[in-house]
Amino acid sequence: MAQIPASIDAELAKAKIPRDAAAFLVVEAVNSTSASKPRLSHRVSAPMQSASVIKLATTFAALELLGPAYTWATPVFSDGAIREGVLYGNVYIQGQGDPKLVLERLWLLLRRLQGAGITSIRGDIVLDRSAFEVPESDPGAFDGEPLRPYNASPDALLLNYKSVVMTFTPAPGGNVSHVQYDPPLAGVQTQDTVVLSTTPCNDYRATLKPDFSDPLRIRFTGSYPLSCGERVWPVAYVDPANFAPRAVQGLWSTMGGKLSGSVRFGNVPPRLASEKPLFEVRSAPLAEIIRDINKYSNNVMAQQLFLTLGRDGNGSVANFSASRSVMQRWWQERISQDEPLNMDNGSGLSRTERISAQALGRLLQNVYRSPLMPEFIASLPISGIDGTMKRSKSNSQGSAHLKTGSINGVTAIAGFVHATSGKHYVLVALVNHPNAPAARAVFDALVDWTAQDH
């Protein structure tokens, strides 16, 4: 076992993290006999919580099993005649797991509905979520933060991450800030302005004193600091189960569309499902989707992708159990039969997922020799440049592509480092300890040590 370098050991001591709470692996990315001996190997076989670093397995498996050009379709059906802009029947929007059906794309979907000659619907808009079989969950159960968009639960028809984006814009020369809500939610009363204040722009969210407790009303009892300028604040809707109907109805109405019925959940009738849809909208290709998942550690997108792996070629209903089985088969066939993989939901937002540093290293060495390596590495945050590594204080800015992970008591990084010698290294670091948040300085020191290999 290679000894922990002094610079890293010193940072562990400063962070009050014992050596037996950490695992480190630094090994050449080229997996050959001459390059098989690690530069650093510390507790590499210990199964540990890895938080969002487990997304590396989810996204690479998806690239191999689905292909980098894979896209999600969201078909739209109608079951009545269209005369003079009026549909005498229902519209059906069938979700199939698109991880990024955000506001702009929902607007385009409804705009295409109007482009098909429908401006008024004498029936209902039916939202079909049947492609995923996911148990109802409490968005605040994991970490007590139910209003954080990252805690949104997966959904076959996931719209805007079940979140409202509020934009605060101070009126020029005025004493109020305008508030815009996207998407507009039908039946929800909103406060269009907030009083401006001269308080410093520190925690403006607390200064606003928001009240999101009532699903039918969003209000603020505080003020908005003028010094903040324009700010954008995404908040998970307090009633996620009813977000999609409110968002579709609210947006359709603001676009001038008319609806005599309601927006409700239901299934596309079998007769319609066997026919060609009115149209369908498609997601960006998987190679782009995994950039959002890995660069910004998007948990719900990762879970959408993980569930998609559980659908077979016949479009069966996806569930977490089926996806775990697919992942286990892929892992044993492609990565390792010796290093176990224990996955829960594919995102790292879990206390049961476990993986060793050695297993992650084996995964990344397989990535490096894969023809899909360029697409995969491009999805990882660049140290000191972007994504979750933007604030890295490593001196080796731009030299590493590293996925980060962090939940209470867990901090982790894993990825690739381009060293001054020209060699490429796989780097894995896992810390499971109450002082895990203090491990950032440890990781910066590890990246610098890895990059300076002369």
pLDDT tens per residue, range 291-341: 999 999 999 999 999 999 998 656 689 999 999 999 999 999 999 998 889
Supply the pLDDT for residue 144.
Answer: 67
Same domain (yes/no): 119, 251: yes
Supply the pLDDT for residue 14.
Answer: 97
Same domain (yes/no): 17, 114: no
Enter the tokens of residue 249. Answer: 């109805």
Q: Residue 39 domain-assigned?
A: yes
Same domain (yes/no): 294, 386: yes
Same domain (yes/no): 300, 204: no
Residue span of the structural domain in which 193 resides: 154-240
d(CA 349, CA 405): 10
Supply the pLDDT for residue 173.
Answer: 86
Supply the pLDDT for residue 34.
Answer: 44
Supply the pLDDT for residue 312.
Answer: 66
- Picking from 282, 313, 348, the residue at the C-terminal end of a domain is 282
The CATH number of the domain holding residue 361 is 3.40.710.10
Q: Residue 367 domain-assigned?
A: yes
Same domain (yes/no): 57, 77: no
Same domain (yes/no): 368, 223: no
Same domain (yes/no): 160, 253: no
User: What residues of the chain score a pLDDT lower than 70?
Assistant: 1-2, 31-36, 140-144, 312-315, 454
pTM reported for the whole predicted model: 0.95
Residue 226, classed as helix, strand or coil, is: helix
Same domain (yes/no): 403, 317: yes
Same domain (yes/no): 355, 415: yes
Q: Are the C-beta atoms of 347 and 52 separated by less than 8 Å? A: yes
Supply the pLDDT for residue 112.
Answer: 98
Written as one letter, the residue type at 265 is F
Place of tokens 């954080």: 148
Domain tally, the chain: 3
Q: Residue 148 domain-assigned?
A: no
Q: Which helix (H) or strand (E) holds 167?
A: strand 163-170
Same domain (yes/no): 309, 339: yes
Same domain (yes/no): 101, 166: no
CB 223: neighbour CB atoms within 10 A?
19
Q: Residue 389 domain-assigned?
A: yes
Q: Residue 120 domain-assigned?
A: yes
d(CA 60, CA 364): 9
Q: Residue 149 domain-assigned?
A: no
Same domain (yes/no): 246, 236: no
Q: Residue 147 domain-assigned?
A: no
Residue 15 to residues 9, 52, 240: CA-CA distances in angstroms?
10, 21, 39
- Buried b / exposed e over 345-363, threshold 16 CB at 10 Å, is bbbbbbeebbbbbbbbbbb
Q: Which helix (H) or strand (E) holds 232?
A: strand 231-236
d(CA 401, CA 386): 10
- Residue range 183-209, pLDDT digits in tens: 999 999 999 999 999 999 999 999 999
